[in-house]
Structure formats: structure tokens, C-alpha cells
Amino acid sequence: MAHGEDWPQVVAEDDAAMLARADAGGIDWFHGRLAEIKCPVLLMGSLADDLMPNLPAQIITVARQIPECSVYFCATGAHALMWTRPEHFRRAADCFLAALPS
């Protein structure tokens, strides 16, 4: 379980916050201040994501805006990759972290 016993409340509050931001308008979820990120970033997803079929294109759009961004796509797995293919997620994360300067 990702959030503990209060996960329904966490999800409901997160949904409410996102909907309020969307209702306020003027939000571009895939552009903004990403170029200002100063640390290495790893974005991961599944090419077979059942919840977000456009996820690969969205990840690439975001990754192109982050100066030091690595991308990992798993050919299998659903949404979310860390739960549906934890071994792939862990391996990609371990490789990314191992490559960082110490």
C-alpha cells in the first residue's frame, strides 16, 4: 500500500486540489519552469499504460524541457509502473542513482 490506512482521504484531497487548480484555468500541465530544474531527473513509464495511453509522448514532452533528464520506458506493465513492474522500476532507479556523481 502506497499511502497507509488513510489513502482514500489522501487521494480525495489530491483530486480536489487538482480539480480546483484546473477550474481556476490557465494551467499548462506539461510546460512551465521545468528548464529551471537543477538536478538530474528520471522519468519512467510503461509503453502499455492502460490509464494514460499517451504517457510516452507526455513524458518525452516533459523530458525535453528538463536539462538533465533521463527517460526509461518499460514495454510491459500498466499504471503505475512502480506497482505493475516493480522489478523494472527498481532496476531503472538503481541504474540512474548509481550513475549520479557522488
CA 85 to chain centre: 14
Higher pLDDT, 65 or 23: 65
Which pTM does this prediction carry? 0.74
The grid coordinates listed for 55 are 504517457
Higher pLDDT, 83 or 27: 83
CA 6 to chain centre: 22
Average pLDDT taken over every residue of the chain? 89
Nearest to 65 by CA among 43, 86, 49, 92: 43
For CA atoms 63, 66, 67, 72, the dihedral sign is negative
Taking residues 58-73, what's their average pLDDT?
96
Whether residue 77 contacts residue 45, with contact meaning beta carbons closer than 8 Å, is answered with no
